[in-house]
Structure 1
Amino acid sequence: MAADTLVIERLNRTFTSPAGDVTALSNIALKVKKGELITLIGPSGCGKSTLLKIVAGLDSDYSGTVLLNDKPIEGPSIEKGFIFQEPRLFPWLTVEKNIAGNLSLKDSKVRARVDELIALVRLKGFEKSYPRELSGGMAQRVSIARALLRNPEVLLLDEPFGALDAFTRAHLQEVLLDIWQKNRTTMLFVTHDLDEAVFLAERVVIMNPRPGHIRTVLPIDLPFPRKRASQSFQELRRKVLSEFEKVEEPAVDRDHGAGI
């Protein structure tokens, strides 16, 4: 049995403001095994992005335990890759230089790794292209390659395909699964799309809103490659939808609105 790469226990996150405190996450507990791909779904304001930022080391103002390979997370590091909804590429750098970042392509090991990643995300022939010359899907593939450059222990994806059209989104889901199956990088993937959640995940984590907490975790026992039109896929999608429909409405108050 695979060891746990990520362990979260009794995690709480409260935001403080002059108008009062808002609890974004309450008593979160989750264990993610090495090489596992987990999707997180829930309504806006349930703290999905806040959870990813804590795991990434971008937010340390919380209580509870967050361990990566049995060590407390104490800030950003090369062990964690983060992919945002927008590609966030440097417009003055080519595809290969965006992927390499602050590493020199003159280094033979860096050059080999960048070439490997360009092939992995299916961008061969576009190495010298600039972001302005890429489609949205191609730009997001560059951001995936960049996040994988240093072989992170865990890859955190915050709705990375949310702004793309349906065709491009489906294609990039296939690309991501191909990368995952080849590298077995542990992935935590936030989405609002039920089809995407079921199509990608080994387990789907459903969250309730404010204060954000895990309602249930559903295993997706379907072999890869998956077919959305298959009866087994549709049955599991209905099961996830049934649980999702039980999610409570976000709490609303005059001072803070619908959530974090």
Structure 2
Amino acid sequence: MKQGEFVAIIGPSGCGKSTLLKIIAGLDTEYQGSVLLNEQPITRPSIEKGFIFQEHRLFPWLTVEKNIAADLSLRKPEVRKNVDEVIELVKLTGFEKAYPKQLSGGMSQRVAIARALMRRPQVLLLDEPFGALDAFTRKHMQETLLDIWSKNKMSMVLVTHDIDEAIFLADRVVVMGAKPGIVKQLIPIHLSHPRTPTDTSFHDYRRRILNALNDHEEVVELSYSI
């Protein structure tokens, strides 16, 4: 991946999408080959890589700002400053003192995103972060993520089952196949933002990805590094 690139990974259940994210994150080390960040092998989790799960995984006994700070003290000026900045970035200003039970699903996921951004990672890994949200909230969160990406230009790797989501967000879509888990196609998305799912060009990409998922495209061998 190029620095600041947004890549989406799509494929059938069980093909290894989430496993690939865990390998990039340094959470899974039982594999052959190599994964590099800044030309250095990834062997363990680090602050250079932020991870966002499908569930927000917030601590119910902590407020929004304390969930974002996690193990860092809000009494430190630099921590307080960073927390305030990411709260504004994810549009949660005014909810700093709220608890998770007082938040909607979309707002809870905003907190999870803010927590991942807190340490300024070089790569943000997203494992179907909007899969449990309703269609309206999901669309709003996709736009929020694009806004964050455009302002920070960090590299992002998104796992999704939603073809439209992949086309709407990504610079490139990685299409995977199962049994065995393989990369079948890399599809660059040459559309400017904002993207409209009803456009003919958007529909053309949707058809191409569907064809790749349905074995109408050739398998490719890749050397894939970040």
TM over 0.5: yes
Which runs of 5 or more structure 1 residues have no equivalent in the other structure? 1-31, 249-260
Residue 247 of structure 1: how far off its partner (Å): 7.0
One-letter amino acid of the structure 2 residue matched with residue 129 of structure 1: A
One-letter amino acid of the structure 2 residue matched with residue 112 of structure 1: K
Residue pair 1:208, 1:247 contacting (<8 A) in 2 also: no
One-letter amino acid of the structure 2 residue matched with residue 45 of structure 1: G
Deviations 1:129-183 (A, max 9, x none): 0000000010001000100111101111000001111001000000000000000
> What's 1:34 paired with?
3
Question: Which runs of 4 or more aligned residues in structure 1 lie more than 6 Å from their structure 2 counterparts after TM superposition?
Answer: none
> What's 2:147 paired with?
178
Distance in 2 separating the partners of 1:55 and 1:239: 27
Q: Structure 1 stretch 102-111 or stretch 239-248: which is displaced more?
A: 239-248
Residue 242 of structure 1: how far off its partner (Å): 2.0
**Structure (1/2) with the larger strand percentage:** 1
1:161 aligns with 2:143: no
The aligned length equals: 217
Larger CA Rg, structure 1 vs 2: 1
Higher relative contact order, structure no. (Cα contacts within 8 Å, ≥ 6 residues apart): 2
Distance in 1 separating the partners of 2:201 and 2:17: 27
Change (3 A) 1:112 1:247: farther
> What's 1:104 paired with?
73
Residue pair 1:95, 1:126 contacting (<8 A) in 2 also: yes
2:86 to 90, 105, 117: 117
Question: What RMSD, in angstroms, separates the aligned Cα atoms of the two structures?
Answer: 1.1
Deviations 1:184-239 (A, max 9, x none): 11001000000001000000000010221100000000001111222221222222
> What's 2:164 paired with?
195
Q: Residue 185 of structure 2 aligns to a residue in which SS?
A: strand
Deviations 1:30-89 (A, max 9, x none): xx1110000000001100011100110101111111111111111011011000000000
Distance in 2 separating the partners of 1:207 and 1:94: 39
